[in-house]
Structure 1
Amino acid sequence: MDNQTSAEQLPPHLRKPRLRRAEASEYLLHAHGLPVAVATLAKWATIGGGPGFQKAGKVPLYPREELDRWAMERLGKLVRSTSEVR
């Protein structure tokens, strides 16, 4: 989500600055079209490769800005032909 208007289009429970794992999964789908299962986020939290998170006690919290950054990194650059993908 790049701007305020886009954030306002999210369901209210996804507008918080930090999201729990299930909300992060839902956010990635709503905001970026990336289907990422809650279990996948949990596994990545253990082995690496997923978005960064913070812990509040035992609860992992994903900052929305980090989810956006990670999603854009994962999506890669925009291309117009498969020959551009290398």
Structure 2
Amino acid sequence: MADKLLFIRDVAERLGRSPAQVAWMVHKGTAPKSAIIAGRRMFRESDVEAFIDAAFAEAS
């Protein structure tokens, strides 16, 4: 089964950030992996979860 695709607003909610902050993270290269699909920035749910898991792994 394919990953659910998330918009910036969905990722922002998951990370506790504003959509503008997530857009800035994308610009700086510090956001979860994403792609432009049909003219919209999209994130795979598994990439967002991996991003969160990596942050906790680095904190240990």
Cα offset for 1:35? 1.5
* Aligned counterparts, 1:1-86, within 5 A: 17-26=4-13, 28=14, 34-76=15-57
Q: What is the root-mean-square deviation in Å for CA atoms of aligned residues?
A: 2.0
Bigger Rg, which one: 1
Identity of aligned residues (%): 12
TM-score by length of 1: 0.57
Unaligned runs of 5+ in 1: 1-15, 29-33, 80-86
Cα offset for 1:40? 1.3
Distance 2:53 2:28 in 1: 21
Distance 1:45 1:19 in 2: 14
TM-score by length of 2: 0.77
How many residues are treated as equivalent by the alignment? 58
| Larger relative contact order (Cα-Cα within 8 Å, sequence gap ≥ 6) | 2
Higher strand share: 2
Secondary structure of the 2:54 match is helix
